[in-house]
Chain A
Amino acid sequence: MDPKQMELLRRIMETQFITVELNLFLDTHPSEERALQDFRAASRELHNLIATYEAAYGPLLNFGLGEPGMAPCWQWINDPWPWEINWRGKC
């Protein structure tokens, strides 16, 4: 995986960590306005990053939820799969 793709993927993982954390917090604090605002902002950022990634490198999500893309072939099957990337020294 080239360094630019890896860096973008790392940013997506980082941003999604924020949305996961706020999502869990909001599950038990559904009326916390500040958390909701933070969640919305992070979620927008996450959607933008995923759209950028998928346009360049193919879908991140299966079952049609990812960017359909214009590539002439089925990109979903492309290596590497998540467990095949060693993030050693990258964080």
Chain B
Amino acid sequence: MWVYQKMLQYPAGVKACNPKLAKSIITQYGGPDGELAASLRYLTQRYTMPIPQAKAALTDIGTEELAHMEIVATLVYNLVKDASIEDIKRAGLDGYYADHDKALYFVNGDGVPWTAAYIQSKGDPITDITEDMAAEEKARSTYEYLLQLSDDPEVDRTLRFLWQREIVHFQRFGEVLDLLHEHYSHKHVFEMKGYDPAALKKKDDDSGRIITP
């Protein structure tokens, strides 16, 4: 279950209409390392996590990413809202305009639509959290490139906030990875009379990782 809060996580503002900048920023809405990909990746990986810290972190960070998606959408919406057709053409947004007018759609800066192939849900918790750490770093790099491209100081302020969040999330996922290693360093075998040691070679508890007793 989710609840909507009628506010942004961060007070995003734009100085002036700037469709050219919107064209770059929209990649964080529907691009490969954008907020939609981040959110859906974490929210779908959480089901098969073996430890509570991992389930909580993926749920909460996945939820925060939805709020970031809304912040990015707010920037794009406000950067194109007052653009004339001439502005749209000059910014190279005419192809986008033909398909979507000024509506928000999940594409990258070149208009490539979002695809689930951007994300993975591998079932191996170590693999998934490692992907998540990489995802945070890729998003951090993207925000750095967007800051280079931006010529609007108000937009910069919001981009810097989102950039910082990638660093915090990377840190939290790193801690989850440590906790997972710790989890797997124990054997999770409960002795009982008459158990068959050979059966243990097949699979451990709930992760599919093979352990040798």
**A binding-site residues for B, Cβ under 8 Å:** 9-10, 12-13, 16-17, 20-21, 23-25, 27-30, 59-63, 65, 76, 81-83, 85-91
Residue of A nearest to B178 (CB): A28
Q: Which of B10-18, B88-96, B130-138 contacts the other chain?
A: B10-18
Query: Of A16, A20, A24, A91, which is in contact with the most chain B CB atoms at under 10 Å from its CB?
Result: A24
Residue-wise interface mask of B (156-194) relative to A, using a CB-CB cutoff of 8 A (1 in contact, 0 not): 010000000000110010011001000000000000000
Contacting A at CB under 8 A, from B1-56, are 3-15, 53, 56
How distant is A82 from chain B, measured CB to nearest CB, in Å?
A: 5
Q: B9, A87: Cβ atoms under 8 Å?
A: no
Residues in chain A near residue B172, CB distance under 8 A: 24-25, 27-28
Residues in chain B near residue A86, CB distance under 8 A: 13-14, 78
Q: A13, B14: Cβ atoms under 8 Å?
A: no
Interface residue count on the B side (C-beta < 8 Å) = 32
Q: B11, A87: Cβ atoms under 8 Å?
A: yes
Residue-wise interface mask of B (56-95) relative to A, using a CB-CB cutoff of 8 A (1 in contact, 0 not): 1100110010000010011001100000000000000000
Q: B3, A62: Cβ atoms under 8 Å?
A: yes
Contact A24:B60 (CB < 8 A) given known A59-B6, A61-B6: yes
How distant is B17 from chain A, measured CB to nearest CB, in Å?
A: 11
Q: B9, A91: Cβ atoms under 8 Å?
A: no
| Complex Cα spacing A7 to B154, Å | 18
Residues in chain B near residue A63, CB distance under 8 A: 3-4
Query: Of B9, B11, B157, B172, which is in contact with the most chain A CB atoms at under 10 Å from its CB?
Result: B11
Q: B3, A61: Cβ atoms under 8 Å?
A: yes
Q: B73, A13: Cβ atoms under 8 Å?
A: no
| Complex Cα spacing A25 to B68, Å | 18
Q: B11, A13: Cβ atoms under 8 Å?
A: yes
Residues in chain B near residue A59, CB distance under 8 A: 6
Q: B168, A21: Cβ atoms under 8 Å?
A: yes
Q: B13, A16: Cβ atoms under 8 Å?
A: no
Residues in chain B near residue A9, CB distance under 8 A: 7
Residue of A nearest to B157 (CB): A91
Residue of A nearest to B4 (CB): A62
Q: A89, B70: Cβ atoms under 8 Å?
A: no
